[in-house]
Amino acid sequence: MTITQRIFQEKRRLILPLVIAVIANVVAYAVVVFPLGRQVAAAEQEMQNQRDVLRRARQDFELARATVTGKQQADISLRRFYTDVLPPSSSAAQRVTYLRLAQLARDANVHLERGANAITHEKNSTLSKVSTSYTLSGEYRDVRGFIYSLETAPEFVVLENVALSSDQQSQRGLSVQIEVATYFRSSDGS
Amino acid sequence: MLRTNLSTRPFYNERAVHALLGLAALVVFAVSAWQIQRIVTLSRHKTELNAAITRDRNEVASLAQQAGNVRRGLNQQDLKLIAAEAREANQLIAQRTFSWTALFNELESTLPPDVMLISIHPDIKEGKTNVAMEIQGRRTEDIVDFFDRLEKTGHFRDVTWSQETVTDDGLLRQAMNAVYVPEPAGGRS
């Protein structure tokens, strides 16, 4: 019997529990600790994914709320635009393109020689358009002054087109044809 | 001298064996303690993670339901109508705030002496301003010079002509288009 065999023989009451404890530790690591570590890693990954899903859900909810808020704000702004900025009716719109333009022309020392007026309704729109074309005459700087006063006037008037009229030089200087437009909410669209 | 060991059980260092066994027991104990601590920590962490996942899932479900309720409360037809109205209003506001004076200033400073502006029509769509113009000049060189001058201002690009006629007086009358990029309000000192 070698010395080692003798030591194992004589100390087996101490060695055996130690060997059992080592085997138990290995089994515990293989069966419990390692799989548990894997499960925790998987749970961490899943939680991360779930956080992303939650973040997207929060964004989606905020977007839905923002849509409602945006719709309400747009609605208020549009009502204000239709009632406070645009002329309220066709007669008010025609006053802008007829009376107001005549006043501005007089102030700018240009002469409105002839005009034409038309009301059209845009398809898929709640707005009607009052288009007015005028032939006006005056000195170049006065025509420029008239255009400036038109674009800085508080009324909602859009200057759409400016052209020298066919008789480019009239007795009063330059002859210019302008097309202006304003809009109002049609009664059937309000 | 007698060198033979006559004892039936030869001596070995029993204290060293005990020390080694004690050390091994200590290591096994330490590893066992680490494993137990690890199991407790991991189990607790896993429980917390599962609780957080469940909480997040519930919140996702709740948010999805709330978003659905909010959207169901919206009339999609109304929404489309308001979007179209807002687009139209913005378009009109852009046309109204367009500065003809600034445009005329630009053109005045670029028109060569022998080129005359006949008509001008800006068209503003989706924030882009296309200016259709009719000009009249004596020679092709004058008109090309006008094109060059326009582009040099930096406020006109893609200057193209679409139609040219010769008037009874022998003048060249040309329809042209350009993309106009006005100087931002307050850009000039």
Per-residue pLDDT reduced to its tens digit, B93-134: 999 999 999 999 989 899 998 898 899 999 988 788 999 999
Percent of chain A with pLDDT over 70: 93
> In this model, does residue B66 exceed pLDDT 90?
yes
pLDDT at A166 over 80: no
| Residue B163 CB coordination number (10 Å) | 9
Instruction: Over range B159-188, report the average pLDDT.
Output: 84
Over residues A176-184, mean pLDDT: 93
A12-21 contact pairs (CB < 8 A, 24+): A14/B21, A15/B21, A18/B21, A18/B24, A18/B25, A18/B28, A21/B25, A21/B28, A21/B32
Q: What is the DSSP letter of A188?
A: G
Give the pLDDT confidence of B68-96 residue by residue, as tens digits: 999 888 888 888 889 899 999 999 999 99
pLDDT value at B186 more than 60: no
Model confidence at A189: pLDDT above 50: no
Interface residue of A23, A33, A82 to substitute, partner B, most B CBs within 10 Å: A33
Q: To the nearest whole number, what is the mean pLDDT of chain A? A: 89
pLDDT score, position A188: 58
- pLDDT of B35-59, one tens digit each? 999 999 999 999 999 999 999 999 9
Q: Distance (Å, rounded) from C-alpha B132 to C-alpha B180? A: 10
Give the Cα separation of B179 and B132 in Å (integer). Answer: 9
ipTM surpassing 0.90: no
Cβ distance A156 to B96 less than 8 Å, yes or no, reads yes
**Which of A71, A165, A185 to mutate: most B Cβ within 10 Å?**
A71
Residue A122 clears pLDDT 50, i.e. is over it = yes
Q: What pLDDT is stored for residue A78 in this prediction?
A: 93
Q: Which residues in chain A have their CB less than 8 angstroms from residue B45's CB?
A: 40
Any CB–CB contact under 8 A between B53 and chain A? yes
pLDDT at A81 over 60: yes
pLDDT averaged over chain B?
A: 89
Answer yes or no: is pLDDT of B189 > 60: no
Comparing B82 with B183, the larger pLDDT belongs to: B82
Task: Check residue A165 and give its pLDDT.
Answer: 67
Q: Which of B31, B49, B70 sits opposite A68 (nearest CB)?
A: B70
What would the mean pLDDT of A137-144 be, rounded to a whole number? 90
User: What is the reported pLDDT for B170?
Assistant: 87
pLDDT score of A170 more than 70: no
**Residue A36 CB-half CA count within 13 A:** 19
Q: Any idea of the CA torsion for B44, B45, B49, B51, to the nearest 10 degrees?
A: 20
Share of chain A above pLDDT 90, in %: 62
Per-residue model confidence (pLDDT) at position B163:
87
CA-based nearest residue to A86, from B99, B83, B85: B85
How large is the average pLDDT for residues A31-38? 96
Q: What's the pLDDT at A39?
A: 96
Chain B, window 113-142: residues with a beta carbon less than 8 angstroms from a chain A beta carbon: 116-121, 134
CB contact under 8 A, A126 and B85: yes
CA distances for B62 relative to A58, A65, A67, B59, B126, angstroms: 10, 14, 19, 5, 39
Quote the pLDDT of residue A40: 96
Q: Residue A171: pLDDT band by 50, 70, 90 thresholds?
A: low
pLDDT of residue B188: 45
